[in-house]
Structure 1
Amino acid sequence: MPAARSAKPAPQRRTEILDAAQHLFATQGVQATSMEDILSRVGIAKGTLYYHFSSKEEILHALISRTTSRVAERARDVATSQEPTIRRFLLIVAAARVDEPERRLAEELHAADNAAFHVLSIVETVRSLVPVLTEVVEQGVCEGVFATEHPREVVEILLTSASMLLDEGIFAGEPQEAQRRAAGIVHAAETLLGCEPGALAPALERLS
């Protein structure tokens, strides 16, 4: 006689489903993973799975939202730290680079069939970081570290360009090309932010 399934709080069950789906998407591919695969890995009734998510696409949306929320949380922690303004700026930009296991899922989104979700992940990351980074730039303007009349717009331009130009799934090429683009983005950031030349040089190591 099979063992009875344990009832778990909805948030815990939702997390289990997302964790299982993330593992499957990263290891065997988004397109190759079915709802049945996710169901089997979690070990729950079909009705329970569909109570939380109506489709694989909805699960992927939720995974992207979860990842960007974690990125934003790290960024907010940095923004409220006692680090100097320029260092906080650099650390927040670095916070956009996810670690395992999110990194493996991000790499899977580079596949052509997942292009829409790939773009969505970039857009959501930019949206989550813009308000946090804008606040830091505004503080820098007050301190005289930065000099721009358009903090939010500058942040949007820099985050969007960095996210697109340095994404290996969009601009594939030789390592030196990525380094060239990173150097260009840092130069553009210093120009648009109105800070001292070389002030953002430490960003090159993080971006390239």
Structure 2
Amino acid sequence: MMARTTKPADERRDEILDAAQRLFVTKGFRATTIEDLLAAVGIAKGTLYYHFAGKDEILQALVMRTVRQVTARAEAVAASDLNPLHKFIGVVATVSADAEAAELAEEFHASGNDAFHLMSIIELICHLTPVLTRVVEEGVAAGVFTTGQPREDVEIILTGIGFLTDDGIFTGEQAEIPRRIRGLVDAGERLLGCPAGSLAVLAGSAAPETPSGGEA
């Protein structure tokens, strides 16, 4: 009988999450069984349950891991030496930068996963709000933005992006998303107090995800 490989708890947990993400994307969350996960990772049921109570907890952990990854990319953009306008667009762009996260998000749209879908949007808003608020405050200090309530405006903008551009919420209205994005950009410019068209131009060109430094 082959001896089981013992791994550090964090490494084993990530291994389970990696396998779960692959299975949830390719097979679907509802169709994936605990036995599928055990076979994919090569562990006993007791090992899996040591880390997670079940599939729901695994999917919740995947949501939070994705949120942390997006937030880390956003922090990198916010800490760069890009100008505040480019930082603002760059931080917002990090939400859709990860192909694997996008595939997982598609699974959230599946019937029965509404709670996880909503959780992913809310957690992203909560985690990105302080990052984007600092960018706006920097912009106010530099005279790029004129808002007197950076955090409140950021919450409004992120909530609008999170819900109005999600075709999993507005089912069958994908054709409306470009119009809504234009409206959100216009509203963002007015809320932040930057020149009309300044965010629209950058949103169209998309600021780099990993800035190499220097003002754009």
Task: Verify the 8 A CA contact 1:146 1:194 in the aligned structure 2.
Answer: yes
Letter in 1 for 2:203: A
**Equivalent position of 1:113 in the other structure:** 112
Q: Per-residue CA shift, 1:71-105, capped at 9, x if unaligned?
A: 00000001110001100000000011142222111
Equivalent in the alignment of 2:145: 146
| Shift in CA distance, 33/176, structure 1 to aligned 2, threshold 3 Å | closer
- Please tell me whether the aligned partners of residues 167 and 174 of structure 2 are also in contact (alpha carbons under 8 angstroms): no
**Corresponding residue number in structure 2 for 1:4:** 3
Code of the aligned partner of 2:77: V
> Post-superposition, which runs of at least 4 consecutive aligned residues in structure 1 deviate over 3 A?
172-176
Cα deviation code 1:147-179 (max 9, x no counterpart):
111100100000011110101111234554111
Residues in 2 aligned to 1:100 and 1:140: alpha-carbon distance in whole angstroms: 30
State whether structure 2 residue 122 is matched by structure 1 residue 123: yes
Task: Give, in whole Å, the separation in 2 of the partners of 1:85 and 1:10.
Answer: 40
Tell me if structure 1 keeps the 8 A contact 2:167–2:173: no
Residue type of the alignment partner of 2:155: E
Q: Residue 163 of structure 2 aligns to which amino acid in structure 1?
A: M
Name the counterpart of 2:89: 90
Higher RCO by CA contacts (8 Å cutoff, separation 6 or greater): 2
For structure 1, the residue ranges without an aligned partner over 5 or more in a row are none
Q: What does residue 190 of structure 1 align with?
A: 189
Post-superposition CA distance 1:152-208 (Å, at most 9, x none): 0100000011110101111234554111000000000000000000110121465xx
Give the alignment's Cα RMSD to 1 decimal. 1.3
8 Å contact from structure 1 (residues 183, 204) kept in 2: no
Counterpart residue number, 2:203: 203
What's the TM-score, normalizing by structure 1?
Answer: 0.95
Query: C-alpha distance in 1, partners of 2:92/2:101?
Result: 17
- 2:16 aligns with 17
Structure 2 unaligned blocks of 5 or more: 207-216
Q: 1:184 to 1:204 in 2, by over 3 A?
A: farther
Counterpart code for 2:7? K
Alignment of 1:45-64 (within 5 A): 45-64=44-63
The residue number in structure 2 matching 1:181 is: 180
* Counterpart Cα distance in 1 of 2:69 and 2:126: 13
Distance 1:32 1:67 in 2: 22
CA distance in 1, matches of 2:135, 2:25: 34
